């Protein structure tokens, strides 16, 4: 187990609140302490930790890997941070992008053309974990003269049937 400052603060606050609650049950300090010591890990790991995971979205970050991109499309969101931070695809040709990512899944709408533009490729990144998450992460790569000039990530509302 890794003891991070956030973990220590959360477990300390949980202990203090349980201590405060236990003193309302019994005025003997040793009984309140015993209740708090026993209940703190139980309350943290079975109540607080699941609630934190439900309401706060955090996930593993991974470096871009072409093999993993193609094999596990539902986990592509883990690589999106590295793709955007490092500008991995800026300056690459369409052929290089196709080799790394595969064929584009769909084209974006271009208002100037009034149609889907073959210069704006989109890839599905999957859904970030978390309860009540109804948005699908997507990656859009824009091309000019057969070269990638912009990469952006956006969210698309997904309706489940």
Domain hosting 93: range is 66-157
In a shared domain, residues 49 and 79? no
pLDDT at 159 (0 to 100): 67
Judge if 91 and 123 occupy the same domain: yes
Overall number of domains in the chain: 2
pLDDT at residue number 57: 65
Helix (H) or strand (E) holding 9: helix 5-25
Mean pLDDT by runs of 10 across the 161 residues of the chain is: 83 92 88 90 88 73 84 83 84 88 81 77 81 80 90 79 62
What one-character DSSP code corresponds to residue 93? B
Instruction: Report if pTM > 0.75.
Output: no
User: In whole angstroms, what is the distance from residue 161 CA to residue 68 CA?
Assistant: 29
The conformational region for residue 132 under phi > 0 = left, psi -120 to 50 = alpha, else beta, is left
CATH number at residue 75: 3.30.1450
In a domain, 123, yes or no: yes
In a domain, 60, yes or no: no
- What pLDDT is stored for residue 59 in this prediction? 66
How confident is the model at residue 63, as a pLDDT? 85
Nearest-angstrom CA–CA distance, 117 and 10: 50
Does some domain include residue 35?
yes
């Amino acid at each position: 187990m890794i003891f991070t400052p956030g973990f220590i603060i959360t477990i300390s606050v949980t202990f203090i609140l349980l201590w405060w609650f236990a003193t309302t049950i019994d005025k003997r300090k040793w009984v309140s302490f015993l209740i708090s010591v026993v209940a703190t890990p139980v309350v943290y790991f079975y109540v607080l930790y699941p609630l934190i995971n439900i309401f706060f979205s955090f996930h593993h970050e991974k470096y871009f890997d072409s093999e993993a991109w193609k094999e596990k499309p539902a986990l592509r969101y883990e690589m999106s941070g590295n793709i955007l931070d490092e500008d991995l695809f800026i300056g690459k040709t369409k052929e290089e992008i196709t080799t790394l990512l595969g064929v584009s899944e769909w084209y974006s709408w271009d208002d100037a053309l009034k149609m889907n533009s073959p210069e704006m490729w989109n890839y599905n990144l999957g859904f970030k974990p978390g309860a009540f998450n109804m948005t699908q992460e997507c990656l859009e790569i824009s091309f000019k003269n057969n070269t990638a000039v912009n990469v952006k990530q956006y969210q698309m509302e997904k309706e489940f049937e």
